[in-house]
Structure 1
Amino acid sequence: MLDVAVIESPAAAEASLDPTRSAILAALTEPASAAMLATRLGLPRQRLNYHLKELERHGLVELLEERRKGNVAERIYRATAGSYVISPSALAAVSPDPARAPDQLSARWLLALGARLVQEVGTLITGAAKAQRRVATFGIDAEVRFAGAADRAAFAAELSRAVATLVGRYHDESAPGGRTYRVVVGMHQVPAAPEPTEPEATQENRQ
């Protein structure tokens, strides 16, 4: 089982987004039979089998083993990955293109960069899985709290200069056998966590 699988097919993306099938995928991070899943998810066996076959058809679920109990064969299934990411290539005709309107200060452009990142790295993961090889990548994730807009702007300018200096130092257009890597640096505000909703007062509490 892969840690993460990238869904590139529109049909597979549609299958994974169905609430029932999504619940089946979550349950099948641990191997189980159709009978076990039906009990666990509270679904009729016939309905569960239908969804299971659709997920298997799109490569989201795989048959792990077949156990025989007397004259009955019990098929054990497992999700092909622990989690899934839908690539923008599944919506190729309407996927965002960073080349359309490059603007370092645009949130939409940053989103387009992120979409391209998912698409390109997803393609690499899919190819590497077939070849049973690892993908050479590197990532940094950090949080910084700015005192104000001026500090944020100064940080962005300094970061831009540092990246440009590093790229200029190591980029070698004529290197024989060299490989091109894409460097993406982004910054966005961390969304505030939703405030917990207070339970409605019961009739007893109101009195």
Structure 2
Amino acid sequence: MNFAKPLPNYLVKRYHGWKATTYSENQVWYRRLATEGQRPRAMVISCCDSRVHVTSIFGADQGEFFIHRNIANLVPPYAPDGDHHGTSAAIEYAVTALKVAHLIVLGHSQCGGVQGCIDMCKGQAPQLEAKESFVGRWMDILKPKFDLVADVEDSTDQARQLERQAVVASLENLMTFPFVSSAVEAGSLSLHGLWTDIGEGGLQCYDPKEGKFSEV
């Protein structure tokens, strides 16, 4: 194997800085996590976007969140077809093995994946329509929600609305998983839909009764 390269020097320096400070000052906690295992109270499904810093938003420490990230924080419908399902596997493990009490879907502003879905729906992204596009086929999960925002004339407002609809779609699809729906019905698991504004630092929560997002 000759294609793997050494870690970039700036990351090596950052690691040594972390080891000498954060780790050194919390060795007992880290060793406890290692020996006793993880017991996160919540799972967070967020976007891969590097600007979405899940642990910073909630001031979380190691061991608090079981985090899964993918393009546009989407959850596919339950489909036990034998294919590879990274998101579904993470959900299964969080709910059935870790028994998290909360499952949070966190969307965000300026989401590139959502914009890609809009471009596809408007016929402006032929590269994403190609069957070999992993991103395009993943965004097919969200395409049905575009009808809800198709008539929004302002492009920025349209994108912000579809970003929130991506959260709603994921919440709806979560309930197609038998082990999720049964845990919700039993009261041992609660679902939460959030959307964060990167530039303003805002956080909104979805209210299913009102059918809208409101500031936290």
Task: Please classify the TM superposition score into its range, dividing by the shorter chain length.
Answer: under 0.3
TM-score, length-normalised on structure 1?
0.24
**Who wins on radius of gyration, i.e. which is larger?**
1
TM-score, length-normalised on structure 2?
0.24
